[in-house]
Structures are given as structure tokens and as C-alpha cells.
Structure 1
């Protein structure tokens, strides 16, 4: 048993009021609850509700994404009695592939619902970025849909790269993410105002730290974008 003096000292309580935010999390996603508290450092209290698709799958397929949206009203109900400022839908791929369905599913939410894709757009606006290099773990066809979604939002994608995976994102090593970004060809990163690591389910915190040392431009992940939106400042 560790001695009391070996235990980590509790952090100081934040000065002033603390915001309470709700988060709708895909049921097998373990990175949202790992990264959000680290980046906000007790400026925000996060309250989570799990979205379990009816087919009980975890692979990124059309049925999985549709199932997450079907589960959204139930997730909102779980959060409905809490004193929340906002609720975040922490699934980027559902955010940009199911935009109309998300609006319908969240129309009766007690507070504003911000999707992970909304948060990415807000973060890019905060940095004044109008062009990006995009890296994702998604299947290539899903990444192509995201490129179109960014274009529709007025963001030019100078280049994109995908690991072409439909599951197992939390098991990825930081080196796999940094190699993916460094593998972008034809000067995609050099021509971009920012680099986006899309997806809330892969571990981006260490990868972002490593990439910042070499790329010399803003880097944003889905989870970081949610934190920036929740705190209204870059962590």
C-alpha cells in the first residue's frame, strides 16, 4: 500500500465558478474521458452519457453511426436533470456524416448541443485558419466525406491521410499518428494554416505535443477542439 506522502497532492480548487458540460460519448470510446479532463484541468466538470447503438457494434459503419444518433435522445435524457451550460456530441464522424439527423435528434435538448465537428470549425475560426491538412484513423470513404464537409463549411483541405481503420482507435500508438501526418505529400502541411487530427477515439495528446515541435503551425484534435470550445480559450 502506498504511503500517504507518495500520493499525488490534490490540485488547487479553481478560482471562480466552474462550468458543467455534458458529453454524449460512443459506448466503446475510452479517450474522451481520458483527454478532456487533462486539457481543462478542473476548469470544467464533465458529465458523460453513453451512446450504445442498437446493433451493439463498435466498428465505424453506417449502421453504427445511425445507431449512435438513435441513442442520442436517451443520452440527452440521462443528462437532463443536470445544471449544464452545454452538451457536446463527442463523435466527429457522426457529426459530419449525419448532420441533419443530429439536428433532429438534439432539437429538444435542454441546452445547446455542440458536435465535435462544430467544435473543430470553431477552433479553426479561433486560429484564423481557412485551410487544413487532415489526418484521420477512419476508413478512406469516411475521410472523403469529411473533406467534403469541411469544404462545405468554407475550409480548404490541402491534403488528407487516413489509417483506413474501422475500429481499435484507442490502441494506436502516438508514432502511428505522427507518421501519418508526416506522410502527407505534395506540401499539404506547408500549404495549410492548421493541421487537424479528426476523431475523438484515438489518443492525440502526446502526438500533438510531438508534432508541435516540428510543424510550426496550429494543431487541433477533436478532443482538444471540444476543450477549447468549453473553456473558450486554447488549453
Structure 2
């Protein structure tokens, strides 16, 4: 990433035995195989990740209304799984569930003993920290879900200069680097030129290679849901536990 926000694998950052470790929880959709693969490499050896899985009651994996609402309904039980741990934060590692179910998420996390931060919030925090108000957005989601995200960004003062989506309801872990590059090409040169950053929304598709490639190619900050969670956790490591 640009502007001092480069994320490196933990093996590239040897920390002293005295370095403070931050213990954080992560709520992961039950079919997501990418979150646990990406976060440790981006944790710089300073974050310990503790996972609980979100299982929607209907038992599906395709991204639709029942799935998204089912993930949010599963949050209290997942928080209970982590309740005996001393955690600085808990992250909801499903971007789309957060921005499509904002009211319900606030309802189920009210009174939680630890702050719950969604991947969507983590992206917004990263953008705000660096004064970035214009983004180009790419997602694997169905088009209508991407449209909701564009609106939610706009309501928080972030203009989406262009968006592109794969239109997929499932199978995000199988998305290739070439598919991601093609999505960015669909945005058009003007949308990319106007954007302060490129956002790869969704915790379920692999983004480490895409971030590195696109940053080099576009000369823009490039971030993703998982990268934003990792950066947020690194920042909160210096804050007292709540």
C-alpha cells in the first residue's frame, strides 16, 4: 500500500520478545476460507487472531438476503464462543453483511462486552485516516449488492467514482488474480484517475497478490476488506483493552 500503509507478511517483520501482542477476535462466515489465510500474514507478528464461525440458520453459503441476515443473527452465539478470552476488539469479517444489515448488526451487538468492528467500518476508518474521499470499488458480489455498498459509502461521505462486480453469489475463494485485474479494467481509466484509492470489497476472495499488483500498476492506494481489518487491529494494539 501507499502512504506508509504497506502491509508485509509477519515473517518480514521480526519483533522482539517484548513487543506487545494484541489479542482480537474474528467472526468468520462458516464457508469463508480466506480470512484465516490472509490475516496472520498481515498481522506483522503483533496480532493474535481468535476465530469463531458464523453459521446461518438456513445452512446455506450463497450470498442472498437469508444468508446475510442469518450471519448477523449468528453473531451473539459467535461472540459467546469468544467470551472467555480477553480481547481488545472483535471483527465481523463479512463486509456485505455489515453494510446490508446495519440496523440489525447494531441491535445484536448492543451491550456486547467488547467492541465489534465490521470489515466495512475498518475500510472507512482507513480511508478517513488518510483523508481519502473518492474510491473505485470492485467486488465479487451480485450487482445489486454492490449497488447497496456504493450507496452506503456515499452516505458516509465517500464518493464511488466507479464500480465493477463479478456478479457471483458464491465461490469467492476461487476468484483469480486475472479476474480481479479485469474487473479493475472495467472501471475505466477516468474512474481510476479520479479515485484516491481502489477498494477490493469482500473478505472471501484472496487479495494479497491483487493489492501488490494493482498498487504497482495504478499508483494508487489499494486496500481490501481483510487488509483494512489487519490495519485496524494493528492500530488498536496500542489502545487499552475495553
Asked whether the two chains share a fold, i.e. TM above 0.5, the reply is yes
Residue 185 (structure 1) aligned with residue 185 (structure 2):
no
- Structure 1 CA distance for aligned equivalents of residues 209 and 227 of structure 2: 12
Q: CA deviation at 1:12?
A: 5.7
1:22 is matched with which residue?
25
Partners of 1:14 and 1:42 within 8 A in 2: no
Aligned positions, number: 224
CA-based RMSD: 1.4
Q: CA deviation at 1:107?
A: 1.0
Q: CA deviation at 1:174?
A: 1.2
Gaps of 5+ in 1: 1-7
Q: Based on CA coordinates, which of the two structures has the bigger radius of gyration? A: 1
What TM-score, normalized by structure 2, do the two folds share?
0.90
Structure 1 residue matching 2:28: 3-state secondary structure: strand
Q: CA deviation at 1:186?
A: 5.6
Q: Which runs of 4+ in 1 moved over 2 A?
A: 11-16
- Structure 2 CA distance for aligned equivalents of residues 231 and 145 of structure 1: 29
1:77 is matched with which residue?
80
1:11-41 superposed Cα distances (whole Å, 9 cap, x missing partner): 6655322000000000000110000001113
Q: CA deviation at 1:185?
A: 1.9
- Structure 2 CA distance for aligned equivalents of residues 38 and 204 of structure 1: 12
Structure 1 residue matching 2:187: 3-state secondary structure: coil
2:123 is matched with which residue?
120
- Structure 2 CA distance for aligned equivalents of residues 155 and 112 of structure 1: 24
Q: 2:67 aligns with which of 61, 64, 69?
A: 64
- Structure 2 CA distance for aligned equivalents of residues 14 and 173 of structure 1: 38
- Structure 2 CA distance for aligned equivalents of residues 183 and 36 of structure 1: 28
> Residues 1-235 of structure 1: matches in 2 within 5 Å?
14-185=17-188, 187-232=190-235
Partners of 1:129 and 1:193 within 8 A in 2: yes
Partners of 1:30 and 1:201 within 8 A in 2: yes
- Structure 2 CA distance for aligned equivalents of residues 60 and 214 of structure 1: 31
What TM-score, normalized by structure 1, do the two folds share?
0.92
Structure 2 residue matching 1:80: 3-state secondary structure: coil
- Structure 2 CA distance for aligned equivalents of residues 141 and 99 of structure 1: 17
